[in-house]
């Protein structure tokens, strides 16, 4: 047993941290759940303050072209509203949406925070957020939200990092399911099933960002032994 841990870790990495081991993940989930309540699941005026760009500040025609979306984003960032690059993560539109994202964030995010360190997880969170939110906005405009892009970033990170050095509790079928679901999201099937339109570009952007962080991050740290 590692003398810096309070629970055994097998060679296969079969363990799950407690909330005390992953305070950043816990805080992220708590904030997201609170914002679901405060925004009325994205239905009140507060929700616009979490979007990448406030749609009330621009004519809707501005979001109909890529150039218009870029101009609106540039004006927003020039006004100092940098937080908007991250805050769409905390905007959810149903309890199913927030519950699924929270479960996945806890299951894998807590392992990253405990095994690879909080700094690595925060870096992954920020990079995945920037990539997923920016790509989704550039393709579809500001009406989206959720932690799904971050979750896909965590999935990509765990999958590739696990191949470099096995340590996470990561069922192999999970990445297959996630990729199949992402592909399905680019088809009309979710809307035909009444699931609504999915933030497909956010999923793709987050996943690629997670792969990049795994590829570029050094395999070292206090948990490596």
From 21, 92, 97, 203, the catalytic residue:
203
Catalytic one among 102, 110, 132, 148? 148
Tell the residue number behind the tokens 């997201």, with chain if given: 32
Longest dimension (CA), the chain: 60
**Cα–Cα distance between 116 and 120 in angstroms, integer?**
6
Catalytic (active site) residue 203: yes
Q: Which residues contact 224 (CB under 8 A, 6 or more apart)?
A: 165
Residue 115: HSE in the Cβ half-sphere, 13 Å Cα cutoff:
24
Residues in the chain: 225
Q: Within 13 Å and on the Cβ side, how many CA atoms surround 200?
A: 17
Supply the angle between the helices 118-140 and 148-164 in degrees, to the nearest 10.
130
User: Are 148 and 202 contacting, i.e. CB atoms less than 8 angstroms apart?
Assistant: yes
Question: Per-residue DSSP letters for 121-176?
Answer: HHHHHHHHHHHHHHHHHHHH-S----SHHHHHHHHHHHHHHHHHS--S---HHHHH
Q: What angle do CA 194, 98, 95 make, to 5 degrees?
A: 60
- The answer to whether residue 21 is catalytic is no
Nearest to 89 by CA among 214, 178, 209: 209
Q: Active-site residue numbers?
A: 148, 203
């Amino acid at each position: 047993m590692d003398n810096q841990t309070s629970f055994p870790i097998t060679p296969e990495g079969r363990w799950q941290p407690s909330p005390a081991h992953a305070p950043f993940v816990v805080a992220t989930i708590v904030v997201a759940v609170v914002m679901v309540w405060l925004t009325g699941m994205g239905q009140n005026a507060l929700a616009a303050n979490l979007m990448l760009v406030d749609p009330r500040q621009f004519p809707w025609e501005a979001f109909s072209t890529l150039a218009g979306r870029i101009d609106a984003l540039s004006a927003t960032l020039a006004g100092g509203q940098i937080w908007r690059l991250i805050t769409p993560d905390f905007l959810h539109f149903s309890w199913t949406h927030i519950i699924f994202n929270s479960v996945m964030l806890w299951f894998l995010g807590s392992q990253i925070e405990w095994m690879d360190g909080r700094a690595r997880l925060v870096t992954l969170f920020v990079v995945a957020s920037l990539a997923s939110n920016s790509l989704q906005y550039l393709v579809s405009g500001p009406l989206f939200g959720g932690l799904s892009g971050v979750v896909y970033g965590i999935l990509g990170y765990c999958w590739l990092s696990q191949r470099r050095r096995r340590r996470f509790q990561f069922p192999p079928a999970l990445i297959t399911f996630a990729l199949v679901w992402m592909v399905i999201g680019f088809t009309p099937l979710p809307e035909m099933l009444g699931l609504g339109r999915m933030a497909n570009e956010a999923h793709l952007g987050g996943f690629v960002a997670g792969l990049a962080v795994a590829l570029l991050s050094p395999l070292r740290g206090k948990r490596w032994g």
